[in-house]
């Protein structure tokens, strides 16, 4: 892992791609598990959840808010 300023232990926070690698799935599958959990198989869901727990992954709420804001702005413009 690469160091990031501000991280308490000098390491960067795990990313969606880190979780995907640990679970043996694509980052799109991890995203689908987080956003629409019923769309992945129980075995895949278990592997992804285990990787999330093992790595200490926490979704970036600021990034999600930016994405949702962009979608809402696009919908309002339609």
Answer for the pair 27, 16: CB distance below 8 angstroms, yes or no.
yes
Q: Could you tell me the CATH number of the domain that includes residue 35?
A: 1.10.260.40
Token match 């769309």: residue? 39
Does 3 map to a domain? no
Q: How far apart are CA 50 and CA 60, in angstroms?
A: 19
Residue 55 lies in a domain: yes
Residue 67 located in a structural domain: yes
What is the per-residue pLDDT for 53? Answer: 97
Q: What is the mean pLDDT of each run of 10 residues along the chain (78 residues)?
A: 47 92 97 94 97 93 72 62
Total Cβ atoms within 10 A of residue 54: 12
Distances (CA, A) of 9 to 3, 13, 52, 59, 62: 9, 10, 18, 19, 22
What is the predicted pLDDT for the residue at 41?
97
Residue 41 included in any domain: yes
In a domain, 7, yes or no: no
Sign of the torsion formed by the C-alpha atoms of 71, 68, 31 and 33: negative
Residue-number span of the structural domain to which 46 is assigned: 16-77
Q: Look up the pTM and report it.
A: 0.70
Query: What pLDDT sits at residue 76?
Result: 65
């Amino acid at each position: 892992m690469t160091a990031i300023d501000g991280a308490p232990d000098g390491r960067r926070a795990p990313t969606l791609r880190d979780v995907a690698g640990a679970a043996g799935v694509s980052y799109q599958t991890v995203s689908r598990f987080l956003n629409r959990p019923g769309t992945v198989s129980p075995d895949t869901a278990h592997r992804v959840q285990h990787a999330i727990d093992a790595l200490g992954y926490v979704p970036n709420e600021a990034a999600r808010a930016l994405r949702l804001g962009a979608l809402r702005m696009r919908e309002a413009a339609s």
